[in-house]
Amino acid sequence: MTDVVIAGAGIVGCATAVELLTADPALDVVLVEPDPTYARAATGRGTGGVRQLFTRPENIALSQYTLDVIENWDDWAGEDAPELHWRPNGYLFVAGPRDVEALAANAMIQRRHGVDARWLEPAELADRYPAMRTDDLAGAVLSIRDGWLDPTAFFTGVRTKARRLGAVFVTDRVVDVQTIGTTVRSTLLESGRALDTDVVVNAAGTWAPELASKAGMTLPVEPMRRHEHYVETTDDLGSLPFIKDVEGLAIHPHLHGLSVGLVDFNHPGGEDFTIDETHYARTVAPALAGRIHRGEFVLRRTWTGLYDQNRFDGNMILGNWPGHLDNFYVATGFSGHGFMHALGVGRGLAELILHGDYITVDLHRMNYQRVVDDRPYPERGIR
């Protein structure tokens, strides 16, 4: 009998194992992962950004926990902690006249929840970041504690800690569950092996809905492709923050230039890693030139990754379904924020599993029941 089976050993699954075993070292925790190379995992294809500029207090608090760990990384990760290449240049949200009032209102929420969110008028913005075009902007919010890092290094540190604490990694896939009443009794693996267990955590990312359906849950989550582009620049733009706007444009310094993306939230769902060779020139290059007016850009690389996009409200779906599935826990639908929130999600799941309730951060409003009841809980700011 296994205490906890975690389906999916990506960043969320490994973080959950770390938090469970930190709370109770005697637990038997097994992580089942079909691809130990993580070739299609979201984390390694992401930007590694960590920001507090959310409007829901849960998301702010989860990011703050991740920042606490980053700032104490060597102690947290232990011996041979990977170098994170942390760049605390801050996050900058910008808005034009149409959206500036909402941006200012969101900044007030952020400050109430402990974010050092500083309001910048266009003139101050232009003086601070002369490479930016600001004449079309009406205001901006800078969160100076935020930044970005090497996501693969961070994940390696979390996974290594899970293994060091005693988590067992199995190369296989959870394909079904056996349920008696409201309780899952065992998991069936693709190899034909069965694991009897007290608890199942579904942290399978974009593949989570398929497994959840075996237990009777319908998750409004699907894979959604996103492009990221690396451009080299003739000017040194390394002092820029991570810039985001309401249209989905995201820019931050990377290597000898910039990493830039423009998310199309209307892209149809599906496990699609193909690269649209016209995407950069058609969509991204004009937006980039419209925001950064200093230097020339040369496209060097394009890659794609998948969001586990929650089409219901864009926020994570977390926890069990009391009275229906008491010991089957889901963690999915992060819609691009799973990396930065994984540690806090793992801590919350560990609390819920071991104590029956959230202790550190109340995450009840992220539950599955809101989907059943059609009560969306979306972010109100830049996604």
98-109: pLDDT as tens digits: 999 999 999 999
Rounded-to-integer distance, Cα 2 and Cα 167, Å = 11
228 and 212 part of one domain: no
What does the pLDDT read at residue 114?
Answer: 98
What does the pLDDT read at residue 264?
Answer: 82
CB distance 273 to 304 below 8 Å: yes
What does the pLDDT read at residue 271?
Answer: 87
Rounded-to-integer distance, Cα 375 and Cα 124, Å = 40
Residue type, 313: D
Low-confidence residues in the chain, pLDDT < 70:
none
Rounded-to-integer distance, Cα 327 and Cα 5, Å = 11
CB distance 317 to 328 below 8 Å: no
Global model pTM greater than 0.95: yes
- The helix or strand, by DSSP H or E, that contains position 175, with its residue range, turns out to be strand 174-180
Name the token pair of 158.
Answer: 């979390």
56 and 199 part of one domain: yes
Rounded-to-integer distance, Cα 159 and Cα 4, Å = 16
Rounded-to-integer distance, Cα 380 and Cα 265, Å = 15
The reply to whether 380 falls in a domain is no
What CATH number is attached to the domain comprising 201?
Answer: 3.50.50.60
302 and 320 part of one domain: no
192 and 159 part of one domain: yes
User: Which one of 265, 288, 307 terminates a domain?
Assistant: 307
What is the span of the domain harbouring residue 211?
Answer: 2-73+151-220+312-372
What does the pLDDT read at residue 379?
Answer: 96
What CATH number is attached to the domain comprising 94?
Answer: 3.30.9.10
What does the pLDDT read at residue 383?
Answer: 83
CB distance 288 to 297 below 8 Å: yes
What does the pLDDT read at residue 269?
Answer: 82
169 and 215 part of one domain: yes
The reply to whether 133 falls in a domain is yes
What does the pLDDT read at residue 43?
Answer: 86
What does the pLDDT read at residue 263?
Answer: 86
18 and 108 part of one domain: no
Number of domains, the chain: 2
